[in-house]
């Protein structure tokens, strides 16, 4: 699950964690214990959630997180209200990041 700390990803993770048989490996921009700690408060997360650091702008950063996965849910996307260039700052990272992990499929 890319973009684990995002709204859509976190709600999707809850559903997966509450379903029998699913463990979730998620990615987040920074493996910062304080910023990501709330994810481990999700139901069943302490037992079945792993987090890996990955960046939409860094080729290869999804390799470890995706290795051995049965499927990938791509939910990562930059989020900002004020950007200088929306294509460069929002669209390009999303497209490039998606290409990085689709190459692993």
Phi-psi region of 21 (alpha: psi -120 to 50; beta: other; left: phi over 0): left
Q: How many structural domains comprise the chain?
A: 1
Does residue 57 lie within any of the structural domains?
yes
Write the pLDDT tens digit of every residue in 50-75. Answer: 999 888 988 998 998 899 998 999 99
pLDDT of residue 87: 95
| Residue 31 confidence (pLDDT) above 70 | no
Does residue 64 lie within any of the structural domains?
yes
Host domain of residue 94: 7-102
Q: 37: pLDDT confidence band, cut at 50, 70 and 90?
A: confident
Q: CA–CA distance from 18 to each of 14, 36, 42 (Å)? A: 6, 19, 10
Does residue 1 lie within any of the structural domains?
no
Does residue 83 lie within any of the structural domains?
yes
């Amino acid at each position: 699950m890319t973009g684990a700390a995002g709204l859509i990803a976190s709600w999707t993770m809850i559903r997966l964690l509450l379903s029998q048989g699913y463990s979730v490996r998620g990615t987040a921009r920074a493996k910062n214990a304080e910023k990501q700690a709330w994810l481990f408060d999700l139901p069943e997360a302490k037992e079945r959630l792993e987090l890996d650091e990955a960046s939409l702008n860094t080729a290869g950063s999804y390799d470890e997180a995706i290795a051995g996965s049965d499927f990938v849910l791509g939910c990562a996307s930059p989020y900002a209200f004020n950007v200088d260039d929306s294509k460069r700052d929002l669209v390009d990272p999303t497209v490039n990041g998606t290409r990085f992990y689709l190459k692993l499929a």
